[in-house]
Structure 1
Amino acid sequence: MSAPREDARGGTTAPGGAHPYDEPDLLRDQFRQLLRYRLLIICGIVLGLAGGGWLGLTANETYIATSEVTVRMPTADPFTTGSVDRVAMGSERRTAVSDLIARRAARELGMAPGSAPSLGRGLSVTNPPNTEVLRFAYSAGDPRVAAERANAFVTAYLGNRQADAEETIAHNVASLEAQREPLLERREELEGELDALAEGSGTYDSAVADLTSISGQVSEINAQVSSLRALDTSGGRVITEAGVPGSPSGPGLPLLLGLGYIVGIGLGLLAAWVRLVFDPTVRSSGDVTRALRAPVLGVLPRTGRDHPDQLLAEGRLGEEYRSVAFRLAYDESFAQRRRLLVVAPRGSIEAPLATSVNLSAAFAEMGMDPLLVEADLRTPTLTDQLRHADGVRPGWAGAAGGADGGWPAGVRVPIDAGESGIFDLVPGRRVRNVPRALTSQAATRLIGHADAKGAVVVVLAPAVLSYADAIALVDRVDGVLVVCDPSQVRRDDLARVRELVVGAGGLLLGAVLHSWGSGQEPARGDVPPAGGTVPHDGPAGAAGDKHRARTTSDRVRERERDRRARALPPEQRDVGSETLGLRVLDPSDMEDGSSRQ
C-alpha cells in the first residue's frame, strides 16, 4: 500500500513514501540553474585570462642557476680520539646562507664587501632529505650572472669550510708541539746523564727506562701531528656545477593563461552561486513545484517574441496546450467538478488569457462542451481578439441580467477555434462593483454550467496578487491553474498564491510555465494617448481600473475604435467590423428556438 499523496492542501506527494525531490535531484537542478548565469561565468573567465596574461607579460624573467655540493663523508675525528660523527646538515645549510659566506663570495666576484647583503638575497640553499648534499640555487635576471654567482657561493662555502678545518688543525698541531717541547728537553738531559753513568749500575738502568718512556711519548705526539697534517682539509666535492640556464624559471605565459582560465571558472561559478542564493525569482520547474506544492503540467516553448500575436496557437505551442488539457481531463480532482480557474500570480493577464483560450479549444477538440468565462471585469479584451463562428448559435440562454444590470448578462458568444471546433465565450465587461458581480447568483449559476454532462467551465481572472477577484471565485471554481514565467515570478509570490488559494478552499491543480517575459505590471489594457487619458464606460470604471500598456500603437487605435462602437446603440453598431471579428448575440436571439449545429 502506497503512502498518502500530498495535494495542494498540504498532504504528501510521492507514492510509496519516497520524497519526489531527493538530494541528487536538487543538486542537479541547482547546477542547471547556475548555468543560467552564463554572463557571470564568462566574465569570471575573461577576468582570469586577463589576470594570467598580465602576469605573464609584465613579470620580469628570472633565471635560476643550480649547483650541488657533497659535504665530505665523515671520518675518524682528529680532535677527539675514537669518535665518529656525522655532518650536521642543518648547521651547514645555515652556514651556507650566512653573511660570512656572502662576504667571501663578494670577494670572489671582486665586489665591495658592502654588497654582501644584496648579493645574498638571490641565494637559496636546500638539503635534499636523507642526503649530505647542499643545493645552491641563485636567482637573477641575467642567466650568466646567475650561474657565476651560484659557483661563487659554492667556492666561498668550500673555501670557508677548508679554512675552518686548516685553522683547527693548526691549533691542534701547535698544542701538540707545545706538549712535545718539554719532553724533548727532558730526553736530551737523560741522554747526557747516560754518558756519565757506568753501564750496569742501578742509576744507569733507571735513566734508560726514563729515556725510553719519554721517547715513546715524543713518538706518539709526532704521530698525532703527522696525522693531523695529513688530513684532507677540503670542505666537500662539487657534484653539479652551475651552468648558464637556457630558459627562465617559473610559469610561462601559456601556463599562466591556463591557470587564469581555471581560476576564472571558479570565480564565475562563485559569482553565479551568490547571485542564485540572493535571487528571489524561481529559475526552474522544480522551484515552482516546491513553492506551489503542485505539479508543472506543461512548459510552453519559446515563441521568439514577447507574446503570441494570435491567441489560438499552432505547431509545438498548440500541442503543448493540448497536452496540458489532456493531463487536466484525466486528473481525478478536475474530473469531479470540471471547473478551472486560470490565473497568474501577478502582472500581465496576457499569458493566462492565451492559456484559457487554447485550453477551451483543446477541450472542444476532445468532444467536451467548454464554456470560457472572462471574469476580468476591469480591462476585458477577449471580444477584441477572438472571432465569432459565423452562422452558429449556442443552444443556451443565460439569465435576464447580472448584478446592477451588468455582468453576466446572459450572453454567450460562439467562438470558432478552427479545426478544434467551437466553444462558447461569456465576455467580460466593466461593471460598477466588481466584487458584487463576481459573487452574484448569476455568476454562480453561470459557473454551475460545468455540472451539465460533458461540460467544462474555464474561468479567466486577473492576477491573484494584484486583485482579490480570483480569490472571490475560488470557492465556486475550486480547481486553479497558475500560469507564470519562472524568470519573472518570485518564490514568495508562488507561496503566497498557494496560501490564498488553499485558505479560500481551492485546489491547485498545477502550473503552466512560459517564457514570454513581461512578468510585471505592463502589457495589457488601454493606453492613454499623449497628453490625455482614455475615457471609461462609466464613472465606476474610472475609480477602480488600472491602465496597462499595450504592445503596439495599432492595437490601441483598434481598441479605441471598438470602444466607441460599443457605446453606440445596438442598431447602429458595425457588426461586420473586421477588427472585432465577433458578433455578440442578444439573449432574445438565443431563445428563438434555434439550436447549435
Structure 2
Amino acid sequence: MSGTTPDVRSVDVRRYFEVPRHRWRTVLAVAVLGVGAVGGYAALAPSSYEATSLVRVSPVGTDPFSSGRTPDQLVNTDSEAQIARSSDVAGLAAASLPGGRSPEAMRAHLAVTPSSDTATLRLTYDAGSQQAAIEGVNAFATAYLAHREADARARQEEMLRDVEEALDEARAALLTAEEALASAVEGSAQAREADADRQFALRDVQALSDRRGDLRAVSFEPGSVLDEADRAAAGSPADDTLFLAGGVLAALVLAVAAAFARDRLDRRVGSGRGAGEAAGAPLLAEIPVGTASLALVEDPAGPAAESYRMLRALLVPALRRRGTRVLLVADLTGPAHRALPGANLATALAEALGDVVLLTPGWRGAAAPALAPLAAAGGTGKVTLHTTTVTGLRVAHGEATDGGLRDVIAGEEFRTLVTELTDGGAWVVLDSSGDLTPSEVITLAGTAGAAVLVARSRETATADLASLATALERLDTPIAGCALVVPAPTRKARHTRA
C-alpha cells in the first residue's frame, strides 16, 4: 500500500456516534426491554410512602441542673429511641388512630434515629399511602411524648409517697423526742440526749418538707415536636420520579452499551469506517443497493449512480498518479453477481473515459443481461472481447469455451492481453466477483496496478476483508481505497434490470 494512505485506525470520536446509528435495532430493542422492565416494576411494585417527624426530648428529674450538665447531656437518646419503639408507645399510637390498628404491625413500620449531639429523635414511618404515613408518624410522636410524661409523673408520685412515708417517720421521731425531753430532769443527761434527738428529728422534718415541696414544683415537660409531618415522600422506587427517570436513563445507556458490545463481537463489516479499518484503506464511497440480484444501476440520478460517480471521481486521479490503467475490483459482496460493483464501476468509468474493458473471469454466462455480449470486438488468442449496450464498454466473460477468460488468467497470454489493451489507450477493470478461487483472485491482483476493495454491510466478514488487504499488500498492489455496499431504503430502490 502507498505510504501516503491515511491511517484510518487512528482514534476518531465520530466512530462512537456511528456505532449506535448502525446498530439502531439493537439500541431500540434493548431500550424497549429496559424501559418496559422499569415500567413493569413500577406497575407491580407496592406503593410506599415515608413521613418523618423530629422530636425534641427534654430532661426529666427533680433537679435537672444539679449535676452542672446541659439539658442535652442529661438525655440518653439511644435509650429514648428504644422507648419510642416500645410496645407501650405503639399501643398508645394505635389507640389514637381509627380503624383498630395492630400496635405490633405499626411498630414494624417505624424507624427511630437518635441524634448523637442533640437531644432529638427522628421518627420515620412508612405506609401504603401518604395520609397513612403522615398519621402514623404523628401518632407515634404524640404517643411517645405522652408515654414519657406519664412515666415521669408516675415516678413523681412514687417519690412523693416515699417522701411522705419518711416525713411521717420523722414527725413521729420528733414527737417521741419532745415527749422524752418533757419528762426528763432539766439539765440532766437524759434531757440533753432528748434535746439532741429533737433537733435531729426537726431537721429531718424540715428537709423532707422541702423535698416534698421541690417534687411538687418540678415541671415534667417531656419534650416537643419540632417538625410535625405534613407530607410524605415516596418510600419505594416505584413511586419515585427520580428512580423512574434514572431507570429510563439506565436503559438507554445499557442499550448503547449493548450496541457497542454487539459491534465488538460481530465479525462482519458493519459500517464504512469499519470497512476502512479492516482494509487499512480510506473509505471512498457507500453504495446503496436494493435486494434484487443481477442489478445494474438504472436511475442515472439515483443515489447508487451518484455513489459510483463519486467512486470514479476518487479513483481516476489515484490511478493516474500511480501511472496505471488497470484496476482490480476486489469484490467481497457475497454471492456471485449480487451487487455487480465491478460492472457498475466499469459502466461509470466508460461514461467518463470512453474506452473501458471489463474482464470478468468469474462470470459464467451472461450474468448481467445489460452487459450481454453484442458482437466480437477484438481480443487475443482464446480471449474474445464483445461490445455491450453501454457505450465505450467492452466485456469478456469467463466462459469455459473458446474465447473464455477463465482458462487463461494464470498464463502470460492474459498479461499480454491487459498490456495490449492499456497500450491501446483502454482502461481495464478486473472484476474478481463470481466463483473465482482465492488463488485466481490473487493472480488478478498481481496483474492490476491498483485495487479497490468492495464489501457488503452486515454480510462481508471483517477477517476476509483484512486477509485480502494483507494479500494485496504482500503483492505490492496498492489499495486505492474501499467501498461499502449498503441496503438502500425500499422507497429508493428503483434500480433493477431483468
SS for the counterpart of 1:412 is: strand
Alignment check: 8 A CA contact 2:331 2:431 kept: no
Partner of 2:364: 379
Which residue, 101, 111, 118 being the options, matches 2:105? 118
1:418-429 equivalence runs, <5 A: 418=391, 422-429=392-399
Once residues 515 and 65 of structure 1 are traced to their aligned partners in structure 2, the CA distance between those partners, rounded to angstroms, is 59
1:84-163 equivalence runs, <5 A: 84=70, 85-106=73-94, 115-127=102-114, 131-141=118-128, 149-163=136-150
Q: Which amino acid aligns with 1:88?
A: N
Which residue, 386, 390, 393 being the options, matches 1:413? 386
1:525-580: per-residue Cα shift (whole Å, max 9, x none)?
xxxxxxxxxxxxxxxxxxxxxxxxxx99x95xxxxxxxxxxxxxxxxxxxxxxxxx
Once residues 239 and 37 of structure 1 are traced to their aligned partners in structure 2, the CA distance between those partners, rounded to angstroms, is 57
Q: Which amino acid aligns with 1:412?
A: L
Alignment check: 8 A CA contact 2:333 2:456 kept: no
Once residues 383 and 144 of structure 1 are traced to their aligned partners in structure 2, the CA distance between those partners, rounded to angstroms, is 78
Q: Say whether 1:297 aligns with 2:278.
A: no
Which residue, 358, 361, 370 being the options, matches 2:356? 370
Partner of 1:574: none
Residues 253 and 443 of structure 1, relative CA distance in 2, 3 Å threshold: same
Alignment check: 8 A CA contact 2:455 2:465 kept: no
Q: Say whether 1:230 aligns with 2:242.
A: no
Once residues 341 and 143 of structure 1 are traced to their aligned partners in structure 2, the CA distance between those partners, rounded to angstroms, is 75
Equivalent residue pairs, number: 487
Q: CA deviation at 1:53?
A: 4.5
Partner of 1:530: none
Q: Which amino acid aligns with 1:384?
A: P
Q: CA deviation at 1:494?
A: 0.8
1:56-95 equivalence runs, <5 A: 56-58=42-44, 67-72=53-58, 77=63, 82=68, 84=70, 85-95=73-83
User: Cα RMSD (Å) of the superposition?
Assistant: 4.4
Residues 121 and 283 of structure 1, relative CA distance in 2, 3 Å threshold: same
Once residues 451 and 143 of structure 2 are traced to their aligned partners in structure 1, the CA distance between those partners, rounded to angstroms, is 91
1:37-94: per-residue Cα shift (whole Å, max 9, x none)?
3333333443344445545555555566665533225777559755553322233223
1:490-505 equivalence runs, <5 A: 490-505=461-476
1:503-541: per-residue Cα shift (whole Å, max 9, x none)?
445332221222258xxxxxxxxxxxxxxxxxxxxxxxx
Q: CA deviation at 1:445?
A: 0.3
Partner of 2:480: 509
Once residues 296 and 347 of structure 2 are traced to their aligned partners in structure 1, the CA distance between those partners, rounded to angstroms, is 15
Q: CA deviation at 1:319?
A: 3.8
Residues 429 and 79 of structure 1, relative CA distance in 2, 3 Å threshold: same
1:37-436 equivalence runs, <5 A: 37-58=23-44, 67-72=53-58, 77=63, 82=68, 84=70, 85-106=73-94, 115-127=102-114, 131-141=118-128, 149-174=136-161, 176=163, 183-195=170-182, 211-239=198-226, 258=245, 261-300=248-287, 302-304=288-290, 306=292, 309-311=295-297, 314-315=300-301, 316-331=303-318, 335-345=322-332, 347-350=334-337, 353-359=340-346, 361-362=348-349, 365-366=352-353, 369-376=355-362, 378-381=363-366, 384-386=369-371, 397-399=378-380, 401-402=381-382, 408=383, 411-415=384-388, 417-418=390-391, 422-431=392-401, 436=407
Alignment check: 8 A CA contact 2:281 2:479 kept: yes
- Normalised by the length of structure 1, the TM-score is 0.67
Once residues 154 and 447 of structure 2 are traced to their aligned partners in structure 1, the CA distance between those partners, rounded to angstroms, is 111
SS for the counterpart of 1:457 is: strand
Q: Say whether 1:28 aligns with 2:14.
A: yes
Alignment check: 8 A CA contact 2:329 2:453 kept: yes
> Where do 5+ consecutive residues of structure 1 fail to align?
1-6, 403-407, 518-550, 556-597
Once residues 53 and 165 of structure 1 are traced to their aligned partners in structure 2, the CA distance between those partners, rounded to angstroms, is 52
Which residue, 482, 486, 503 being the options, matches 2:457? 486
Residues 149 and 440 of structure 1, relative CA distance in 2, 3 Å threshold: closer
Q: CA deviation at 1:446?
A: 0.6
Residues 513 and 86 of structure 1, relative CA distance in 2, 3 Å threshold: same
Q: CA deviation at 1:102?
A: 2.4
SS for the counterpart of 1:35 is: helix
Q: CA deviation at 1:463?
A: 5.4
Residues 486 and 111 of structure 1, relative CA distance in 2, 3 Å threshold: closer
Partner of 1:565: none
1:440-494: per-residue Cα shift (whole Å, max 9, x none)?
2221101123652744321122358854321122222242221121222111111
- Relative to its length, the structure with more strand (as a share) is 2
Once residues 413 and 436 of structure 2 are traced to their aligned partners in structure 1, the CA distance between those partners, rounded to angstroms, is 25
Residues 276 and 91 of structure 1, relative CA distance in 2, 3 Å threshold: farther
Residues 50 and 284 of structure 1, relative CA distance in 2, 3 Å threshold: closer
Residues 323 and 389 of structure 1, relative CA distance in 2, 3 Å threshold: farther
Partner of 1:526: none
Partner of 2:409: 438
Once residues 58 and 160 of structure 2 are traced to their aligned partners in structure 1, the CA distance between those partners, rounded to angstroms, is 22
Partner of 1:462: 433
Range with bigger deviation, 466-475 or 134-143: 134-143
Residues 292 and 463 of structure 1, relative CA distance in 2, 3 Å threshold: farther
Once residues 358 and 405 of structure 2 are traced to their aligned partners in structure 1, the CA distance between those partners, rounded to angstroms, is 18
Q: Which amino acid aligns with 1:227?
A: D
SS for the counterpart of 1:93 is: helix
Once residues 494 and 441 of structure 1 are traced to their aligned partners in structure 2, the CA distance between those partners, rounded to angstroms, is 28
Residues 128 and 363 of structure 1, relative CA distance in 2, 3 Å threshold: farther
Alignment check: 8 A CA contact 1:346 1:463 kept: no
Identity %: 24
